[in-house]
Structure formats: C-alpha cells, structure tokens
Amino acid sequence: MSPITNIVGGAAISAADAAATRAAGAASGATAFKVDAPNVRYTGDAIESDYTYDTTIVSRDAESGSLKAKPAKVGYRFRTKTGVGRVGLMLVGWGGNNGSTVTASILANKKGISWETRKGRQEPNYFGSLMMASTVKLGVDEDLKDVYVPFNQVVPMVHPNDVVIGGWDISSLSIGDAMRRAQVLPVDLQRQVYDELHQLKPLPSVYYPDFIAANQEARADNTIGGTKQEQLDRLRQDIRDFKQANSLDRVVVMWTANTERYADILPGVNDTADNLLQAIASGHSEVSPSTLFAVASILEGAPFVNGSPQNTLVPGAIALAERERSFVGGDDFKSGQTKIKSVLAEFLVNAGIKPLAITSYNHLGNNDGHNLSAPAQFRSKEISKSSVVDDMVAANRLLYAKGEHPDHTIVIKYVPSVGDSKRALDEYVSEIFMGGLNTISIYNTCEDSLLASPLIIDLFMMTELMTRVSYRTDADADWVPFHSVLSILSYMLKAPVVPPNTPVVNALAKQRMAMENILRAFVGLPPNNEMLLEHKAFH
C-alpha cells in the first residue's frame, strides 16, 4: 500500500479547511511576542540570542569537608530556525488505543468536529497537552501584573493540526476500525470521523513473539518477514517513502506500541553502535523490535521517541544516535498515576516529611493491561514506575541516610470490564515530627488513552522544535545541535533517558521549569523565578 494514504494532515484535508477550522491556537510557527533587547536578533529565517547561563560551582575541602560556592557564568549563543515547514509523525503501533485516539482527535480539532454527549454538545480541544493548553509567565506589565502567553508561542512550534500522520502496526485494521476497537472516544465522534479514518491503513510492522505477551499473537496479521537486516532496510525505506510521498521537511518517529520485555545488555551485541549494527545483520535474538525502529530512525535522520517502558535505547542505540547526530528520547509516557507521584513525593520531601512507603495499585482493561498481564512485560513497567522518586530522595540527606530509600511496591492487574478507564490507588506512609506517621491515600480514575494521547502531541512538538535549534559557546567556532539524547522531554516521560554523566530529574516542577526556561533562553530572556522583588523591595 502506498504510504500516501497514511495521512491525516496535508493532502487529506485542504489548507483552506485547516485555516477555517483552527480554533485551538495559532498556526505553526506563530509566536506571541518579540523581544526588544540588544542580545536578540531576528533574521529572515531565525531567532538568534546571546545568553549568559548563571550557575554555581561547589567545591569541598578534602580535609575539613567545608563547602565553597563560587558563582560562574557561561556564554551561549542560540539560533532557532523559524520556518517549521511540513512535518510528519510516524507512530509505531498506530492502530493501538493511543495511536488511533490521537489521530481521531487531531482530525476532530482540525475540522472543528463537535459531538453530542449526555451533558450537551462537546467541542474538540487539546486539554491535557502542556504545549497546547497551558501558559507560561512572560513577565510583568507596567502595573506589575503578571503577563502569560501560550506555551507553544514562546518560540515557533509546529501545530498539531498541520501534522501529517502515518505509521506501522502488527494489526491490519484500518485506523477507523482500530478506533472502534479501542472504545475510547464517544460514539457520536467516532461516527463522524470513521469514514475518513477507515481509509488509513497502517504499514506492516515488526513482530517478535519473544518480546511481547503471547496474548498479542491474534493481532499480528500485518507483519514484515525476512531477516532483521531486511526488516531494518524495509523500515528505513518506509520512512523515506513517507517523507517523499507527502513532501515533508522532517519526520518524527514515536513508539506507542506494546510494552516489550527488557532486552539483555550483552557485550559485543548491543553495547556499541558497531556491535548493534552487526547484531542486526546477524539476526541476534536480543535486538528488540523497538530497537530496530530506533536504529532505522537514527540512520534516516528522523528523531525517535520511545513511549513505552522497555529499554529500547540500549547503549549501542544511543552511541549510534550520537555518531549520526540524530535525536532520541524516552522512556514511557508519564500520564496519570506516575505524574501525581512525581508531584506528591517532591512536595513531601521538600516539606521535610519523610516518605517511608509508597504503594501503587492499578487495574485496567485495555490492550495495554492485557499485554502487561505477562510477567516480563510487567517488569518493564515496574522498573519505569519505581525510579520516579529517586532524585528527590537523593536530594535530602537530612531525611535519608546514604543507601536508604522508601519501600516502593507496584501492582498492575488486568480487568477487562473497566476498559480504558484505569483505576489507580496509591498510599503514601510518611514519618513526621517526633516519630509520628502520616498516611495519604489517593484513588484516581483516569481514562488512560485520553491522558496519554496529548503526551504524543507534546513529545512530537518539542522534539520537532529541537531539530531547528543550534547553539555555540564562547569556545565554539561552529553551530552545533543539542546532545542526541533529548533530556528536555523528561516532563512527559516516566523514566527519562539522559545523556551520559547527566543527572536524571523526575520531579515534575523541576522538569517543567527546565523546559520553560530553556525556551526563554532561545529568545534571549532570563529564566523565570518567583522572587517577586518588584513587589517586595522598598520603592
């Protein structure tokens, strides 16, 4: 099947329709303001900013153990290309709950499709998307009142309504039938978008039964045969064909398929770039489908983001991305329960309260839950969820001795009758003043795919932006891209993959602050802070 059919944006819906129905925000490339400062320059195709990064270097005296803090400044120059161009998103697992839901939802937003509910008529929106439905503080006006702008208008970003969508799936169902199978969206909305989505067919995907649960075998009727090397070549050709057929400037690839088991990290197999490529050529059993997609994307210069918890980005894949200067990011969409955990644990520790035990229970009935009912796949999810408080614990040695950590238990059960409406119960037991105990219990019902789908949009928008950003320091002669591992995506991911020797940050407020202030740096603005000295200092 020609990949020209695998689209929602662009040729499938006319530019006139898109312009007439865009009620959810500004078009691709729009910004809400211009910076009036000598350190910022607007050229014909870019925004350039000179930026001073203030940090503090701490040294410890070897004998006394005393600390010395020394302020330091590093000069950066950032260049952000303003031309977004025509951008595509290829989803691995396009026919899953997340893939079919985000495709149908973008179509509804693009065409302004509303639908009837028990409470009345519902208009489409991008609620749940950090980029599309949240704001950032720009500064204060002449009356010292805060001024806010949409997150997606700080720098030029692609608009989801303008995205061309395609992808792969081991199931041959059309995206319309996959949407019906998922049972996520209201029936009246499904009815209105079905005919258009039914024309969209996923490309055959890679299926290795050893990596996902045996209960997924019945779905696997749309697979690529041949050796692993032949499959890699086929995936690379799919990306090239999709890009050419739809006249795209860039393509982002995202894994939103089943959770796989962890791949074993083996010396000589997946530990270096060359070893990984050789392992693919020889058909080694520990090269997973998701790693094969990551390698195909890297070699085609298409950024790859892993939205599931398995260790797709093995050391060899990261090394290959660094060598090819291609972007990767992961792991595992951070949607509901884990996002709350990264907020509440940060609050408790920062308040001087010591979490002793965190117990998380989930049950859900969608295909993700079905796949996770297998022990090896559950273990991947357990690992991604369990590390979410590590950085907060490590930051407070007043509460935790070295090596000490809260008890952390995670349970996931498959209950078909609840469908996509996941139930999550969390209990936090903490030590408070003078040996007392405090227990917080949270019961959360969340529509799983309606929380995860906006993350696909956010990850795509931020990843695409980073393909247009370059920088240089005072010591650099040439413009260079950011590191291949996009740690800026951490807010949307449970187990953020970061560059070597880089600390992992899981605290949600820190992750959002980092993303917000990096975007401000791209346009030459200082980082936001909440000192509010303009209100506290004597006038």
Alpha helix segments (H runs only) across 70-182: 97-111, 130-133, 175-182
CB 487 within 8 A of CB 510: no
How far is 178 from 193, CA to CA, in rounded Å?
12
Alpha carbons within 13 A on the beta-carbon side of 419: 12
Tell me whether residue 249 is exposed, middle or buried, using C-beta atoms within 10 angstroms of its C-beta: 0 to 12, 13 to 18, 19 or more: middle
137 included as an active-site residue: no
Alpha carbons within 13 A on the beta-carbon side of 383: 16
Residue ranges with strand state E in 131-221:
135-140, 146-150, 164-169, 203-204
413 included as an active-site residue: no
Catalytic-labelled residue, pool 110, 368, 422, 448:
422
Residue 499: Cβ within 10 Å count: 13
Token pair, residue 279, equals: 């392992």
* Three-state SS at 428: strand
536 included as an active-site residue: no
Token pair, residue 143, equals: 């009356």
Residue ranges with strand state E in 141-292:
146-150, 164-169, 203-204, 250-255
Closest CA to 286 of 262, 255, 320: 262
Catalytic-labelled residue, pool 332, 368, 391, 426:
332
Residue 362 contacts by C-beta under 8 Å, 6 or more apart in sequence?
Answer: 337, 410, 411, 412, 413, 422, 423, 424, 425
CB 224 within 8 A of CB 205: yes
Catalytic-labelled residue, pool 341, 354, 385, 494:
494
Token pair, residue 325, equals: 């200067």
* DSSP string of 12-78, one letter each residue: GS-HHHHHHH--SSPPTT--S----STTEEE-SSEEEEEEEEEEEEEEE-TTT--EEEEEEEEEEEE
381 included as an active-site residue: yes
Catalytic-labelled residue, pool 110, 381, 391, 426:
381
How far is 208 from 490, CA to CA, in rounded Å?
29
What is each CA distance from 524 to 35, 77, 89, 528, in whole angstroms?
8, 9, 30, 12
How far is 458 from 414, CA to CA, in rounded Å?
28
Distance of CA 315 to the CA centre of its chain: 20
CB 160 within 8 A of CB 457: yes
Closest CA to 504 of 487, 489, 481, 492: 487
Closest CA to 12 of 151, 126, 161: 161
Closest CA to 393 of 423, 427, 353, 432: 353
Return phi, psi of residue 398, to 5°.
-70, -30
CB 98 within 8 A of CB 256: yes
So which residues are the catalytic ones?
332, 381, 422, 494
